[in-house]
Amino acid sequence: MVELIVFVLMGGATLAGAITVIKARNPVYAAIGLLGTLFAVAVLYVVQLAHFVAAVQVIVYAGAVLTLFLFVIMLIGVDKEEDQSETIPHQRRLAAALGLVAIGIAAVLVARGQFAWVPIAAGPADPQATNGTVQALAEPMFTDWVLAFEATALLLTIAAAGTIALASFRRPRADTRAERAGR
Amino acid sequence: MNLVVTPGWYMTLAAVLFALGALGILIRRNALVMFMCIELMLNAVNLTFVAAGRALGSLDGQLAVFFVLVVAAAEVVVGLAIIVAIFRRRQSASVDELSELAG
């Protein structure tokens, strides 16, 4: 019963945040909507006993990623209104129809039993078997998944190096000076 | 009344969240907001992973979510750096103005 109440409240918050992201004219409002969605999803993780994943969600997503988004929004300015005209005729309506068709196809596939191997209609198999404590997650992570773990470490290093390379891009000095003289 | 929230409920919610993210990609022009919509879709997939893991009684779903989070963080860092670099050149974050590759 508790799970039902939490699911309804947080599911509503998730969807409300998502709608804010795609509707808000101002990117800052979109970022705040995204924050709401991220927190609501974190609560849904806690209800499903994925404690460590929920903590990482709040720290990495709501903490680091969203702060980065807000920094960039402030950096490149929020005063410009987005062009709301439609380049492709009926773009919005077509996109909405496409989304509904995708959900419909998924519903038909589930209804026809294509995903019968996932016991989605029954309750959780054994709630305690998937209690995602730090200890329970660390054990497979550093044994079965250690290769993937090292690969993500490499990925993060490469991403950091690439970002520094992108961010420190400067025009050659002589160029800027010539431009200033030209003015 | 004793309704059990089955993993199917979470997966349905995740499907709707994914569809909303895809819709945002299709209708928005601001590169930053399109990026946020990608984050929405990643979150929908993560929710599916956790729900499926719980349904199957395995922790692997939660581990997959952990790796998705790491990759998403790297992706955001590089993507935002690219957006800032483009903005420095063009003074705009609208994807409509980045069309010179379109011939």
ipTM of predicted assembly, 2 dp:
0.89
Predicted pLDDT of residue B95: 75
In this prediction, residue A172 carries a pLDDT of: 55
pLDDT at residue A39 in the model: 95
User: Is B65 inside any structural domain?
Assistant: yes
Verify whether the Cβ–Cβ distance A76 to B8 is below 8 Å. Answer: no
**Residues B32 and A73: beta-carbon distance below 8 Å:** yes
CA distance B36 to chain A (A): 7
**Considering the domain boundaries, does residue B83 fall inside one?**
yes
pTM of the model: 0.85
Within a domain: residue B80?
Answer: yes
Residue B10 lies in a domain: no
The pLDDT assigned to A79 comes to 60
In which band, very low, low, confident or very high, does the pLDDT at B37 lie, cut at 50, 70 and 90?
very high
What is the mean pLDDT of the segment spanning B46-72? 90
Chain A positions touching B17 (Cβ under 8 A) are 14-15, 18, 37
Phi, psi of A45 (to 5 degrees): -65, -45
CB of B39 within 8 Å of a chain A CB? The answer is: yes
- CB-based contact A14 B15, cutoff 8 Å: no
Chain A residues touching residue B97 (CB < 8 angstroms):
none
In this prediction, residue B17 has a pLDDT band, given cuts at 50, 70 and 90, of very high
Please report whether residue B13 resides in a domain.
no
**Residue whose C-alpha is closest to residue A91's, from B29, B36, B89, B10:** B29
User: Which residues are CB-contacts of A141 (< 8 A; sequence separation ≥ 6)?
Assistant: A149, B63, B66
The pLDDT score that the predictor gives to residue A101 is 87
Q: Which domain holds residue B56?
A: 29-96
Residue B21 domain-assigned?
no
Determine the pLDDT at residue A156. Answer: 92
Does B8 fall in a domain? no
On the question of pLDDT at B103 being above 60, the answer is no
Q: Work out the number of other CB atoms within 10 angstroms of the CB of residue A32.
A: 17
Could you say which residues from 38 to 77 on chain A have a Cβ atom under 8 Å away from some Cβ of chain B? 38, 41, 44-45, 47-50, 52-53, 56-57, 60-61, 64-65, 68-69, 72-73, 75-76
Q: A58 is written with which tokens?
A: 């709040």
Among A21, A96, A132, select the one facing B33 at the smallest CB separation.
Answer: A21
What pLDDT is recorded for position A37?
95
Query: How far is B15 from A182, CA to CA, in rounded Å?
Result: 56
pLDDT at A75: 84
- The closest alpha carbon to B80, from A147, A115, A139, A76, belongs to A76
The alpha-carbon gap from B49 to the nearest alpha carbon of chain A, in Å, equals 10
Q: Which residue ranges in chain A fall short of pLDDT 70? A: 78-87, 113-125, 127, 169-183
> Which residue's structure tokens are 């920094």?
A71
As a whole number of angstroms, the distance between CA B64 and CA B31 comes to 27
Please name which of A76, A97, A84 lies closest in space to residue A22, comparing C-alpha atoms.
A84
Average pLDDT for B35-43: 94
Number of continuous H segments (helices) and E segments (strands) in chain A: 8, 0
Residues in Cβ contact with A166 at an 8 Å cutoff, skipping those fewer than 6 apart: B78, B81, B82, B84, B85
Q: Considering its fold, how many domains does chain B have in total?
A: 1
Q: Tell me if B6 is assigned to some domain.
A: no
**pLDDT score recorded for residue A66:** 92
Q: In sequence order, what are the residues at sequence separation of 6 or more whose Cβ sits closer than 8 angstroms to the Cβ of residue B63?
A: A137, A140, A141, A145
Return the CATH number at B79: 1.10.287.3510
If you average pLDDT over every residue of chain B, what do you get? Answer: 85
